[in-house]
Amino acid sequence: MHLTKAEILRTQIIVTTPEKWDVVTRKSTGDMELVQKVRLLIIDEVHMLHDERGAVIESIVARTERQVESTQSMIRIVGLSATLPNYVDVASFLRVNPYAGLFYFDASFRPVPLEQHFVGVRGKAGSKQSNENLDRAAFEKVKEMLEMGHQVMVFVHSRKDTVRTARRLYEMAQDDQCWDLFDPQYLPRYPIAVQEMGRSKGRELRDLFPKGFGVHHAGMLRSDRNLTERLFAEGLIKVLCCTATLAWGVNLPAAAVVIRGTQLYSSQKGTFVDLGILDVLQIFGRAGRPQFQRKLPDFLFRKSTY
């Protein structure tokens, strides 16, 4: 949303995107009063310095540091990230005192320890053989977790694959005669949930829900996404097939996450490329959220090169 200058000046905390703040601070006149009021700049997900939005963050930091030098004012810059391997380099860029202002928390600080399982799958990326092998490997892990009474999130790399994967997993459950593991119909809230799902405009959602599956991607209506998240949080959806958009900031009671292949097709390069390590770590972080679990594993299925 857009605020007027008067509205912004009446606030004490501004939550904004890097691009919007870049526009505000880039202006030579008009918003200087606002910029000069800032005494604390918090940059969440500072590891975005590494992607296409990184130049914007660099500009903001450089402009803020120039303001400190020219006005002799104190502006504290705090960078936050859960997936930053070269944190010392970024701290140096932010002009952080490594002995007083640099804080690093490794996995030992995590309330719910995670296990990472790497499963090699044969077949050329995108081929029928590799897709079948990925589906089988994913199904075996999903089945294993459901037998333990847990819920699972399966991450895929395209919107259409969310529905395709959910249907394929259910077909394999029928072949293995274990479809009852996915069945939510015995749960007390199921009749009410069916009525809620009946009002959804997503035909695939309505079709998959009685089977214990849900899908989630950015192309869905916000109301359908909210409904899917809530039903998964209530345990009515056993397996949620989703894209990486759900990996950024949404906490759900998934005991395990499955990344169905770590190679995705890049239309710009015209070939398959590796999934970024930051995305992998973000997806890993969806498993075993402290408010839901104590100690549960997560899984990564890696496409092998052989």
Q: What is the secondary structure of the chain as a DSSP string? A: ----HHHHHT-S-----HHHHHHHHH-SSSSHHHHHH--EEEESSGGGGGSTTHHHHHHHHHHHHHHHHHH----EEEE--SS-TTHHHHHHHTT--TTTT-----GGG-SS---EEEEEE-S-TTSHHHHHHHHHHHHHHHHHHHHTT--EEEE-SSHHHHHHHHHHHHHHHHHTT-GGGT--TTSTTHHHHHHHHHT-S-HHHHHHGGGTEEEE-TTS-HHHHHHHHHHHHTTS-SEEEE-GGGGTT----BSEEEEE-SEEEETTTTEEEEPPHHHHHHHHTTBS-TTT-SS--EEEEEEP--
Class of domain 111-303: alpha beta
* Homologous superfamily of domain range 5-104: P-loop containing nucleotide triphosphate hydrolases (3.40.50.300)
Q: What is the pLDDT along the chain (306 residues), one digit of tens a residue?
A: 777 777 877 888 989 999 988 888 886 544 667 777 889 999 998 988 988 889 999 999 998 998 888 888 889 999 998 878 889 999 999 999 999 999 998 777 777 777 888 888 888 887 888 889 999 999 999 999 999 988 999 999 889 999 999 999 999 999 999 989 999 998 999 999 999 999 898 899 999 999 999 999 989 999 999 999 999 989 999 999 998 877 766 778 788 899 998 888 888 888 888 887 777 877 887 776 655 554 445 555 544 333
Chain region(s) in the chain for CATH 3.40.50.300? 5-104, 111-303
